[in-house]
Amino acid sequence: MNLSRAVSRPEDTSSWHNINEKMKFRHLLSITIALLGSNSTFSQSTNEYVNYFSNNAFGNPIVGKAGEHYKGVTYVAYQGEKEDSYVAAYHHETRKWIGPYKAGTSLLGKTPGMKIDNHGKPTLVVDGEGYIHVVFGGHGGTKDLGENTLGNYFKGKQIHVKTKKPMDISSWEVVDNITPFGTYSQFLKMDNGDIYLIFRHGAHRSNWVYQISKDNGRTFTPKVSFLDAKPTEEDVNDWDSWYIDLARGEGNDILVSYNYHFCKSSKKGHDGERHHGYFMKLDTDSKEWFNVKGEKLAIPVTKEQADTMTLVKNTGDLWNHIGKVGLSKDGLPRVSWYEGEHDGSKHGGPKQLVGYQWTGSQWIGSRSNLPIEARGEIRAISIDSVSYLLGSMQQNMGEVAWWHGVDGGVNFSKGEVLLKHNGEKITLSHFIRNSHPDAMILATQKIKGTDYSKIFLLGENGAIERTKNEADILEIE
C-alpha cells in the first residue's frame, strides 16, 4: 500500500457546510498500526471492504464524459474538495486502486459560504501516447481573462491539465492551450485519435463550440460554433440558449441532442425554463452538420433553423431537461429528455423520462412508466427495444438498475440491480469510454447532512470494492 497516498489532501484542509473544520486522520493510525503488525483489531479494520472508492466527492461531482479504460486500467475524474479536480484509477489485473490524486485547482469553490457552483466538473480523456488529460473549472470565465467574443462572462476559468508521465496520475501539469471561457466541458475521442473538446463558450448567453486536437492534446484547432446564442426575435432582452448531450455515432459521426433554454432577462425573473427536443449530427470527416434526414445544416444553428430542420418534439408549455442520445444497433438515433409540468414556479414539476426513436421516416415515442426523476444512460437496441441504466429512489433507498422496454420504450420492467445503498438518489456519469465489463459507469450518492458524496465505480457485477481505510479520505463525525 502507498501509505502517503492514502492520506494525501489538498493544501488547505479546511472544510465547510456541516463538516468538522479539521479533517480527521484516525484511519491513518489504523493503517500504520496494521502495517507494523500490531493489534489484530486494527488489522481487521484495515481489511474491511466498502463498495465506494472515495468519499471526498463534492457537490454534484460528475460530468458525462468522466472516464476511460486504457490498457487494463480504468481512469476516472470527479469534483472533489473545494471543487478541485481529482482522478483515481483501477488496475483490473491486480485489482488495485490508485489515488485519488488532486489533478488541478479550480478557481471555483474557494469562497466560504458560497453556494457550490458545480459547472466546472472535470472531463477526462487518455491520448494516443497514454497521457491522461482533464479539463475543468469553467463557468463562463471573467472579464479579466480577456474578451469573450462568443458569449458572456460569469466566473471560474476553464483549465486543461495533463499527467507528466503516461498512465501515471500522481503528478500533473497545466497545459495553457484552450480558452478560459468554457463550461460544461466534454471530451470525445474518435477512432483515428482525434480529440474533440466540446463546451459552451461562456455563461448562458454563449455559443456552443468545439475544438479538435490532432496531436494528443498539445494543440487545438480554432473554435467552431455549432449552436448560436442570440437575442430572441420577440425581445432583444431575452435570449435563445441551449443545453446539449453528446455521443459517438456510426463511423466518425458525433450525435448531438439538445433542448432550448428561454434565457429571460433578469427583469422578467430569469430561471431554468427549457423546452423541446432536437437532434443533429456532425460528420467529423467532412466537418459538416446534418439533421436526421441527412439534410445539411448551416452552422451555427439558430433557433429558427433548429425549429424547422432539427426538431424532434415541440413540448409546448411543458418544461424539460435534456436526457441522453444514443444509436440503436440498426443505426437509428434515439433521444430522451425529462419532461415535467408547465408550472414554471415549480421549475417544471416532477420529471418523467420521455424517449423518441427515429424509424427512418419519423420520430415516435411517448412518456414511459419509468420511475419519476430517474436519470441515467441509454442503450438502444432496435426500434422496439431499448434499455436504460438509471439512478433512482426505490423504497427510500438509492438504486442503480437496468430497465428494459420491448414496446418502443413505453412500458419497462426492472432488470439487474447494480447498486442499492441507503441514502439519497444516486446519479450517474455517461458510460465510460472503451469500458471494461467490471467498470462501466461512475455513480455518486450524497452523504446525508453534508455537501460530500460517496463515489462508486460500477460494472456488470456491481460496484468495485476498496478497503475502507483507503476509501475514507474524508471522515464524517
Burial class (CB in 10 A: 0-12, 13-18, 19+), 317: exposed
Q: Annotated catalytic, 243?
A: no
Cβ neighbours around 141 below 10 Å, total: 28
Q: Name the catalytic one among 119, 275, 276, 430.
A: 119
**Interatomic CA distance for residues 122 and 104, integer angstroms:** 10
pLDDT value at position 207? 98
* Residue tagged active-site, from 75, 78, 90, 184: 184
Percentage of residues in the chain with pLDDT exceeding 70? Answer: 88
The pLDDT, as a whole number, for residue 329 is: 86
Span 410-420, mean pLDDT? Answer: 94
Which residue has cell 450517474? 428
Query: Which residue's C-alpha cell is 414554471?
Result: 344
- What integer is the mean pLDDT of 278-307? 98
- The letter for the amino acid at 242 is W
Indicate the pTM of the whole model: 0.89
Asked if pLDDT for residue 365 goes beyond 80, the answer is: yes
pLDDT band at 5 (very low <50, low <70, confident <90, very high): very low
Q: With bands split at pLDDT 50, 70 and 90, how would you rate the model's confidence at 42?
A: very low
With 0-12 CB in 10 A as exposed, 13-18 as middle and 19+ as buried, what is 144? exposed
Residue 37 has pLDDT above 70, yes or no: no
- Higher per-residue confidence, 348 vs 154: 154
Query: Model confidence over 114-162: pLDDT tens digits?
Result: 999 999 999 999 999 999 999 999 999 999 999 999 999 999 999 999 9
pLDDT higher than 60, residue 24: no
CA distance 12 to 60: 21
Which residues make beta-bridge pairs with 155? Answer: 139, 140
Contact 296, 290 (CB under 8 A): yes
pLDDT of residue 1: 29
What mean pLDDT do residues 376-391 have? 90
Record the cell numbers describing residue 358, joined without a space. 427515429
What pLDDT shows up at residue 170? 97
* Pair 459, 476: CB distance under 8 Å: no
Confidence of residue 112 (pLDDT cuts 50, 70, 90): confident
Q: How far apart are CA 154 and CA 366, in angstroms?
A: 37
pLDDT at 38 over 70: no
Domains of the chain: 3-471 (2.120.10)
**Strand ranges (E), 140-292:** 155-165, 168-174, 183-189, 195-200, 208-213, 224-227, 230-231, 239-248, 253-263, 274-283, 288-290
CA angle 336, 341, 342 (to 5 degrees): 110
Note the pLDDT of residue 18. 35
Task: Tell me the β-bridge partners of 441.
Answer: 431, 458
DSSP, residue by residue, 332-386: -EEEEEEE--S-GGGTTSS-EEEEEEE-SS-EEEEE-SSPTT-EEEEEE-SSS-E
> Which residue, 362, 338, 360, 334, is CA-closest to 349?
338
pLDDT at 407: 86
Distance of CA 296 to the CA centre of its chain: 29
Residue 169: its pLDDT value, please? 98
What average pLDDT does this structure show over 422-441?
95
Q: What is the pLDDT of residue 50?
A: 97
Supply 475's cell numbers.
471522515
Please name the residue that has the C-alpha cell 460569469: 154
Residue 381: what pLDDT?
82
Confidence of residue 352 (pLDDT cuts 50, 70, 90): confident
Q: What is the C-alpha separation between 139 and 158, in angstroms, rounded?
A: 7
Q: pLDDT band at residue 350, thresholds of 50, 70 and 90?
A: low
Q: How far is Cα 124 from Cα 433, in angstroms, rounded to an integer?
A: 10
Share of residues in the chain with pLDDT > 90 (%): 75
Mean pLDDT within 33-61? 69
Residue 22 confidence (pLDDT): 32
| CB-side neighbour CA atoms (13 Å) of 419 | 36
Question: Is position 184 annotated as part of the catalytic site?
Answer: yes
Average pLDDT value for residue range 97-112: 96
- Nearest alpha carbon to residue 326 among 337, 318, 311, 314: 337
* Alpha carbon of residue 461 to chain centroid: 22
pLDDT exceeds 80 at position 10: no
Instruction: Give the per-residue pLDDT at 71.
Output: 98
The three-state secondary structure class of 32 is helix
- Distance, in Å, from the CA atom of 162 to the CA atom of 216, rounded to the nearest integer, reads 11
pLDDT at residue 46 is higher than 80:
no
Whole-number pLDDT of residue 48: 94
247-288 pLDDT, tens digit per residue, is: 999 999 999 999 999 999 988 888 889 999 999 999 999 999
Mean pLDDT of 414-438: 95
SS3 for 267?
Answer: helix
Question: Rounded mean pLDDT of the chain?
Answer: 88
The β-bridge partners of 387 are 379, 404
Residue 244, Cβ density class (10 Å: 0-12 exposed, 13-18 middle, ≥19 buried): buried
The C-alpha atoms of residue 186 and residue 402 are separated, in whole angstroms, by 25
Using one digit for the tens of pLDDT, what is the confidence trace for 309-330?
A: 999 999 998 899 999 999 988 8
Instruction: Write down the pLDDT at residue 263.
Output: 95
CB 126 within 8 A of CB 68: yes
The answer to whether residues 439 and 425 touch, using CB atoms and an 8 Å cutoff, is no
